[in-house]
């Protein structure tokens, strides 16, 4: 096979190293499918002295890749927004195809990057950017385009799913499990982006844009992390037949698009409730498709490299057949984004009140005044004259819940509101 397909890697870290390893391992099959010999011409790194597996030629000069006319495909695996954005735009202007696994970059700059790609007749592929090895991007960009997608719900952050699974199965508290996850390499030393839901929000913005063919940006996503979830909440959830998951949900309603990331009480019978540890899953509902779930490893060197190299094959084939520049973001409408206060949800509320006559009646009245009724109530025996109460409401708007909670907070018999967590509604 004489056709050489030179690729340039921007970054040779976890995923870049995985790309080199999978190319070495599956090279014959990849070359057959790409209809040429895929060769890593060079990899951009910061530190030439770092020890690395394999024998990829290294450079610290981006121009060695970006201005090399023999490099047809630039694979951006360096992460962060700048200088990744500048390098990707330059590669497109120099008529190269781009493959990236960078959700931070796409969540902020997808429209600009795809505009420049179109202006230059090039494509941008990003299967590795959301849910690692799970082929959800290709599904939304191609396989599901005849459907009217109503909702996309994902467990798309492995770190938080690992933490919540361990809290559920070991009964441990958040801080202890986070330390364990850091020791195992499942959580970063600064875990903020994961535990505060920001990583999931970036991925959700990308999924929602593709699913609804309408732009959704990171600032549209209502985001709440898992740091407030306690072992006690998980135990009450179990009593209610639920698990607690960090769900990223995008829904198309008559009033606009809802996009939110927050801990959610999910019935144990829901397919997403079975997704444990660092695994990811994306649950898609379409008007013709019905329900469908995509499940697998959402991160890691080899699963993500598998997704990245499938994009390299697509890019190579498009270039070979002269069909590049035809796969945009497919945005064909601008749906309104629904304000968070208008979202409807059921709520789990755990609070401590004085255990005295008429206290529960007063609580019930505060909720009734906001037109909220209860689906379940759990009351634990008194301790020090106080009672712990868990209320689960029927669906209501967030603004109604704010009204009820304002009354509860002002109530003289309230000792403490421990937590409020949303409950899954179909
Ligand atoms: N890790 C995963 O499982 C995973 C899964 C899905 C998607 N992703 C995404 O894939 C991308 C890469 O992640 P990763 O985990 O592979 O990151 P990583 O291990 O930190 O590797 C980053 C690589 O980029 C190089 N680099 C970073 N900034 C640079 C700069 N300014 N100039 C030159 N080189 C630079 C680094 O050089 P040195 O080696 O010299 O430091 C390193 O080789 C990110 O966008 C990430 O979100 C990662």
- Under CATH, which architecture does the 4-133+301-321 domain have? 3-Layer(aba) Sandwich (3.40)
Residue numbers of the chain with a pLDDT score lower than 70: 1-2
Which residue do the tokens 């030179």 mark? 6
What amino acid positions are annotated as catalytic residues?
Answer: 203
Structure tokens at 225: 């992390």
**CB of residue 19 inside a 6 A radius of ligand 1:** no
**CB of residue 79 inside a 6 A radius of ligand 1:** yes
Say what angle helices 103-119 and 198-212 make with each other, to 10 degrees: 40
**CB of residue 45 inside a 6 A radius of ligand 1:** yes
Q: What local confidence, expressed as pLDDT, does residue 407 receive? A: 97
Cα–Cα nearest to 280, from 103, 126, 134, 102: 134
* Cα 136 to ligand 1 centroid, rounded to whole Å: 22
* Cα 130 to ligand 1 centroid, rounded to whole Å: 15
Atom of ligand 1 nearest to the CA of 300: 3
Cα–Cα nearest to 33, from 70, 1, 6, 74: 1
Atom of ligand 1 nearest to the CA of 11: 24
Common-topology check for domains 4-133+301-321 and 340-423: no
Which residue do the tokens 């361990």 mark? 166
* Cα 87 to ligand 1 centroid, rounded to whole Å: 14
Cα–Cα nearest to 109, from 91, 133, 84: 84
The correct answer on CATH 3.40.50.10860 for the domain covering 340-423 is no
Distance CA 56, CA 12 (A): 9
Pick the CATH number of 136-296 from 3.30.360.10, 3.40.50.300, 3.40.50.1360, 3.50.50.60: 3.30.360.10
Domain ranges of the chain: 4-133+301-321, 136-296, 340-423
Going by CA atoms, what residue is nearest to atom 4 of ligand 1?
299
Cα–Cα nearest to 280, from 334, 207, 368: 207
**CB of residue 17 inside a 6 A radius of ligand 1:** no
DSSP, collapsed to helix, strand or coil, labels residue 297 as strand
**CB of residue 18 inside a 6 A radius of ligand 1:** no
Note the pLDDT tens digit of each residue in 266-308: 999 999 999 999 999 999 999 999 999 999 999 999 999 999 9
Q: What local confidence, expressed as pLDDT, does residue 2 receive? A: 59
């Amino acid at each position: 096979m004489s056709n050489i397909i030179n690729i340039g890697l921007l970054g040779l870290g976890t995923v870049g190293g995985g790309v080199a390893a999978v190319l070495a391992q599956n090279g014959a099959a990849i070359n057959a499918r790409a209809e040429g010999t895929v060769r890593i011409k060079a990899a951009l790194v910061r530190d030439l002295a770092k020890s690395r597996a394999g024998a990829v030629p290294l450079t610290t000069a981006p121009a060695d890749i970006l201005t090399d006319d023999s490099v047809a495909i630039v694979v951006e695996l360096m992460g962060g927004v700048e200088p990744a954005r500048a390098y990707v735009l330059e590669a497109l202007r120099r008529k190269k195809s781009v493959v990236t696994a960078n959700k931070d970059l796409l969540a902020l700059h997808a429209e600009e990057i795809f505009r420049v790609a179109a202006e230059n007749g090039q494509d941008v592929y990003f299967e590795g950017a959301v849910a690692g090895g799970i082929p959800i991007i290709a599904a939304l960009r191609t396989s599901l385009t005849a459907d009217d997608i109503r909702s996309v719900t994902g467990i798309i952050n492995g770190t938080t799913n690992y933490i919540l699974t361990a809290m559920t199965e070991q009964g441990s508290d958040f801080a202890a499990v986070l330390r364990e996850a850091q020791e195992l390499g499942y959580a970063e030393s600064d875990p903020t982006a994961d535990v505060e839901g920001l990583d999931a929000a970036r991925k959700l913005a990308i999924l929602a844009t593709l699913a609804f063919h309408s732009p959704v940006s990171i600032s549209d996503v209502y985001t709440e992390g898992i740091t407030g979830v306690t072992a006690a909440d998980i135990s009450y959830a179990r009593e209610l037949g639920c698990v607690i998951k960090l769900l990223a949900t995008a829904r198309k309603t008559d009033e606009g698009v809802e996009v939110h990331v927050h801990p959610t009480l999910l019935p144990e019978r829901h397919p997403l409730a079975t997704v444990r540890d660092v695994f990811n899953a994306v649950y898609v509902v379409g008007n013709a498709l019905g329900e469908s779930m995509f499940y697998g490893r959402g991160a890691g060197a080899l699963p993500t490299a598998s997704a990245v190299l499938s994009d390299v094959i697509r890019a190579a084939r498009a270039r070979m057949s002269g069909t590049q520049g035809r796969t945009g973001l497919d945005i064909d409408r601008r749906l309104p984004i629904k304000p968070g206060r208008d979202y409807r949800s059921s709520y789990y509320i755990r609070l401590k009140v004085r255990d005295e006559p008429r206290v529960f009646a007063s609580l019930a009245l505060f909720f009734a005044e906001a037109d909220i009724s209860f689906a379940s109530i759990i009351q634990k025996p008194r301790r020090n004259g106080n009672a712990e109460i868990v209320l689960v409401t029927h669906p209501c708007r967030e603004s109604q819940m704010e009204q009820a909670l304002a009354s509860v907070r002002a109530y003289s018999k309230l000792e403490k509101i421990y937590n409020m967590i949303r409950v899954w509604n179909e």
